[in-house]
Structure 1
Amino acid sequence: MIVAGNFRVEDRHQGIEVSCALRGEGFPDRLTFHAPHATAHTVDVAQPNWAAMALIWPAMLMGQDLVIEADLSPLLLYNMQNDLMALMRNYEPRLKPIRITAGLSGDIQPKAGRDVMTGFSGGVDSFSTFALYTRPQVPPSLQMTALAVFQVGALGPTARSEELLPPAVAHARAHADDHGLKTYSLSSNMDEVFAPAKPFGPVDFRTTVGFRNAAAALLMQNGVGTYLPSGTVAYNRATFGPYSCTEPLDPALQPLFSTEKLRVQPAGAGLSRIDKIALIADDPQAQRRLNVCISPPGRPRPTTTLNCSACWKCIQTLLVLEAMGKLEGFAPVFDLGFYRANRRRLLQSLSDLAFGQNYLTAQEQILYARAHGLEVPRARGKAERRLRKLARAVLRRGQGKPYAPAHAGAITPPGRRASPDATSAPEGS
């Protein structure tokens, strides 16, 4: 059995700490969230739906009943005990049915004037959600008023939040300030909370992203009335499992995270990633701030631009922009010279990943590029990939270089480089 209780909020240097005590084998003493003072007014400690959401995945993976020693949203608790649990088990068959015990809160009347918020990493999903929900025709109940950055694993290990969160918040705040929006941020020890379940199945961020982000959003339901998660796939690409990431599940999953106080609505679920790129391709702010890179902070990179231009997320974005004839506009954030000098090798790696690991979105983008006259190498078989990997290892021990240098005329000009502390945040935060 896993038990959460002793919910409290305490003042800390430059902010607050919201936490609850945990009882269960292998779990840390407390689940904690840290928020700056600017975010503090949004937190709801009296109705700790966030604790239930943070614990349901490890509890189901371990087959342990979950007890929350507090009153929860009746709507959320009912969904967690029924449809949400059924959907989760279809997504990840190793999850087991459990009992969830908690009281029912009578505090179900939302306060007026709360924010409409989306997570903002600066990626394609973030910018497209911003574009969709700041248009003049959007009704007031959906008009975006705040951007948020959640460090629940998106930026890297949650133990490194003090290092990783500030650059990501600065990136979001720069965009929010340009449009008169608020900026919120949270960090958590979520990795520690999920770790005890690791022997039973996957607990990595990609597999659990929807639940981690939902826990952070639920914490803020006193100040946020609508949460628009951006990472969802289009309805025609939605799958209900088994799969390795919650995003294909989001059109059905995200609304089940709602409470009487917080509406959760997947943003842009009517659009494919190609549609989203087309939506922002001529946006001057996206052209100078787009950040899709998933290269881990601190790892050596072949370029110095904001986006490494070599990871699979960068490559697929560059490929679609190239097919649209919009590549040059994004020279401030990608090293186009590097991309062109290494194009075939980069696209080969994308093709191998897309078709070898069944990345549906990447497959769609490759087919789109081919339909627009671009040559993208076919995916190689496993045996061929192993042989080439061995050959590269031998080459690296000699004089070979893993990438070709960009020719002098194509190197990104000075002044378009990212600052040394720029952080590459994945989508869907």
Structure 2
Amino acid sequence: MLEWSDVDLAVRDAVRAFVDKEIRPHVDALESGEMEPYGIIRKLFATFGIADMARDSLNKRLARLRDGGSPTAGTKSSSGGMFGGDAGSAGMGFVVISELCRVSMGVVTGMGVSLGLTVPTIMGRGTLAQQERWLPDLVTYDKVGAWAITEPDSGSDAFGGMKSYVVRDGSGDGGYILNGQKTFITNGPDADVVVVYAKLDEGDPTVDKRDRKVLTFVLDRGMDGFIQSKPFRKMGIHSSRTGELFFNDVRLGRDRLLGETEGEGTGDAGRDSARSNFSAERIGVAAMALGVIEECLRLCVDYAKTRTLWGREIGQYQLIQLKLATMEVARMNVRNMLFRVIEAAQTGTAISLAEASAIKWYCSQAATDVAMEAVQVFGGNGYMTDYRVEQLARDAKSLMIYAGSNEVQITHVARGLLSG
């Protein structure tokens, strides 16, 4: 695939029109926190029938499960990013992500965590009853999801440094008591449903805390002992609301343990659950980066044609031309990486964690470099909030940290090479 399909282009144009009408006029309100992002996404879902499609797809899946069949029997591989879709429309979801990121990356971040992490975790690990309980409102975005693994002292060492823990409550019904804290949680302040990772403390002092089994639970807003903080103030992606979660003796029934099993033998269902999301999350950065780069390039080309200096349009100066040409090369490279992802989805080819890390590393760095150069092209104006390249630069930087810092991605790429 070297170009977007006709369907992808039609979706792009429709989403672009929606963005121009429903999001661009409200960017300042989203950036200031005056407007929450969730209503805009629900309007997007209603406008394009995404909620109805998601509901129909989920109902078919649940029906197959109730009949004892495979959840994917008779269906094509889902490959449209967080929105699903069959192999023939693999690029559709990525087109939507890219177009939204041109204007408000934070809106995409919040939506992506709910639909791209919370939903797949419950869908992939939950029992039929658990999927019936939580997924109907999540897939339509009627309820907002969060995915909580990061802690204040763990960062990229998500498993080894994890201190949140559960102990069995001793009541005989298989329940647990959860204590701990999570931080940098997208949608944390507002989430209705939260997937939480915690270590099982079985009281054995001979087991290294770093090696304890990780379990995955689903919590609902308002549970006793479960506290959601106010939104953090951040450098960028202001329209994404990020916060902390606190767990103080939160009682969890067995029905909140995903899969209702702790894993057999030496298995670790919790770690496997988290790892299965890492590649998908990192691959999604390519679409987000492409949106940022395309918007920066559009703004810079327009500015270079209209801004004059010493009696000439600045686009006539070779240094500005170099910046624009470098941006275009970055756009081409990132787009081609995204096409690689789409082609893999169409053919059912899995992308390894090492390749996903390489894609995330390159694309996030490219988007950040382009956005910072865009500020430079605009000069003093680029440093002002009235000119959107300032926002794009702040937002782009988050991609180098989001979904695992780039330093960690480099390690995964190298390990992939050395293990071959």
Per the normalisation by structure 1, the TM-score is 0.22
Higher relative contact order, chain-length normalized (CA < 8 Å, sep 6+): 1
Per the normalisation by structure 2, the TM-score is 0.23
Higher helix share: 2
